[in-house]
């Protein structure tokens, strides 16, 4: 494959990608409210002559058919913004008070539109489905809405990318294995018996039992799990009691679990139930435990990772090894449909303003890198007969 041609094509659409990204940046919309963003994407795709489906009130799937039959590749970009008041002073600053593209989803959307422009004029076998997905920053996730109509059934692979401003422009991480964490919510109610603060023998102190449970839960990751298959539990809230001289009848805590192996949740749940239940019993109290699964982990397919490495090298990018993040991304859901690959793309800017910061911004040259990589990967994937041939 001629990768130099891919770079030239990405260079040619770079001004369009920048202009489009700045439009989205100036007009950010919150999760599930991306109506203007969706309208803009649909208009652009119509101008390109690319047919679309809209399986949800916001979001778009564009369908690019090649000249002959073949495999189907999905490429996903998330399109939503965050409830943050932008503090940057740039010409393309957010015009929507209290809403900001502070995670780079404006770049994802613009890069995918620019990729549509490039692919539209190329010859390839098979089909590319461009997934402009709403509500990544929300639960339940917009990924489920995009899959709900069956439009992604039959995909042979689905790829996605996220720009990261702490990684240098031109760098890519496309390693196999767990890249973003799975999450679950933990709710524990401790039931005791209320009483007078001076007479604990007549009561069962739910606060003391809850405190012991909270501490014992921290032994889960340090004393029960394989160090190579880690998890973290954070109890973020603990509520108990009404006055200083009243022994609390109840205590309630909520927390989050993060882990990288989707198969680990049953073990974590069993451990939390045992630790909470037996600790409560040691204090004559009872614990009710509720575990609510959240997002699965983003796990990169090894074969797709090999192909992604080839595309990065082909376009002259540099390969980075990045530690898995305990953040989450609902891209993980697409693994229900097909093998997946999630690329982390360098968008190096001012590292003192991380993602979700009101002064977050990115180096727009990342758009060119994303378009070149999407295009190179798509052509390589579609022109390769079967994953086993990699
Ligand atoms: Ni994001």
103 CA from centroid of ligand 1 (Å): 5
Task: pLDDT band for 236, please (50, 70, 90 cuts).
Answer: very high
Q: What is the DSSP string of 227-271?
A: TTS-EEEEEEEEEE-SSTTEE-SEEEEEEEEEES-GGGHHHHHHH
Name the DSSP class of 91.
Answer: T
Give the pLDDT score at 200: 97
Distance (Å) of CA 113 to CA 2, 180, 298, 305: 22, 25, 24, 23
How many Å lie between the centroid of ligand 1 and the Cα of residue 208?
39
Indicate the DSSP class of residue 70.
Answer: E
Residues 234-240, mean pLDDT to the nearest whole number: 97
> How far does residue 361's CA lie from ligand 1's centre (Å)?
13
Kindly state the tokens that stand for 345: 């793309």
List active site positions. Answer: 80, 136
pLDDT for 41-75, tens place per residue? 999 999 999 999 999 999 999 999 998 999 999 99
Of 226 and 1, the structure prediction assigns the larger pLDDT to: 226
pLDDT at residue 35 greater than cutoff 80: yes
Percentage of the chain with pLDDT > 90? 93
Is the model's pLDDT at 388 over the cut of 50?
Answer: no
Distance linking the first and last C-alpha atoms of the chain: 14
User: Is there a contact between 81 and 29 (Cβ–Cβ < 8 Å)?
Assistant: yes
pLDDT in tens, 282-330: 999 999 999 999 999 999 999 999 999 999 999 999 999 999 998 899 9
Segment 9-38 mean pLDDT: 98
Residue-wise pLDDT for 368-382, tens only, equals 999 999 999 999 999
CA of 189 to the centre of ligand 1 (A): 33
> How many CB atoms are closer than 10 A to CB 63?
15
Whole-number average pLDDT of the chain = 95
pLDDT in tens, 129-164: 999 999 999 888 999 999 999 999 999 999 999 999
Cα separation values, 357 from 38, 88, 351, 352, Å: 25, 10, 11, 9
Ligand 1 mean position, distance from CA 307 (Å) = 24
Q: How far is the CA of 74 from the centre of ligand 1 (A)?
A: 19
Ligand 1 is an ion; residues with CB less than 5 A from it: 103
Distance 93 CA to ligand 1 centre (A): 18
Q: What is the pLDDT, as a whole number, of residue 80?
A: 97
pLDDT (average), residues 96-114: 98
At residue 385, does pLDDT exceed 80?
Answer: no
d(CA 40, CA 192): 56
């Amino acid at each position: 494959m001629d990768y130099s041609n891919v770079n030239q094509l990405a260079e040619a659409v770079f001004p369009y990608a920048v202009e489009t990204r700045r439009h989205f940046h100036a007009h950010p919309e919150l999760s599930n409210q991306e109506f203007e963003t969706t309208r803009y994407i649909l208009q652009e795709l119509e101008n390109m002559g690319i047919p679309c489906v809209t399986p949800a009130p916001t979001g778009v799937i564009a369908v690019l058919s090649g000249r002959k039959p073949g495999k189907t590749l999905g490429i996903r970009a998330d399109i939503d913004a965050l409830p943050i008041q932008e503090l940057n002073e740039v010409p393309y600053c957010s015009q929507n008070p209290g809403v900001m593209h502070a995670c780079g989803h404006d770049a994802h959307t613009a890069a995918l539109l620019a990729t549509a422009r490039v692919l539209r004029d190329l010859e390839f076998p098979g089909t590319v489905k461009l997934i402009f997905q709403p509500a990544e920053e929300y639960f339940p996730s917009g990924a489920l809405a995009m899959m709900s109509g069956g439009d992604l059934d039959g995909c042979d692979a689905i790829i996605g990318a996220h720009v990261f401003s702490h990684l240098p422009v031109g760098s890519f991480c496309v390693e196999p294995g767990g890249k973003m964490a799975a999450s679950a919510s933990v709710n524990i109610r401790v039931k005791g018996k209320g009483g007078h603060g001076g007479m604990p023998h007549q009561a069962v102190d739910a606060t003391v039992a809850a405190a012991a449970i909270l501490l014992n839960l921290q032994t889960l990751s340090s004393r029960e799990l394989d160090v190579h298959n880690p998890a973290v539990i954070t109890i973020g809230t603990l509520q108990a009691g009404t006055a200083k001289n009243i022994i609390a009848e109840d205590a309630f805590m909520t927390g989050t679990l993060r882990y990288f192996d989707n198969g680990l949740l049953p073990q974590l749940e069993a451990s939390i139930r045992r630790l909470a239940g037996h600790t409560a019993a040691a204090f004559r109290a009872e614990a009710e435990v509720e575990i609510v699964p959240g997002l699965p982990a983003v796990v990169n397919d090894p074969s797709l990772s090999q192909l992604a490495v080839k595309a990065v090298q082909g376009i002259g990018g540099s390969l980075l090894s990045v530690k898995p993040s305990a953040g989450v991304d609902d891209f993980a859901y697409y693994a229900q449909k097909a093998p997946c690959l999630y690329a982390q793309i360098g968008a190096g800017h001012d590292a003192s303003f991380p993602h979700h910061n009101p002064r977050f911004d990115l180096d727009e040259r990342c758009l060119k890198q994303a378009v070149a990589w999407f295009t190179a990967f798509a052509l390589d994937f579609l022109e390769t007969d079967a994953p086993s041939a990699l």
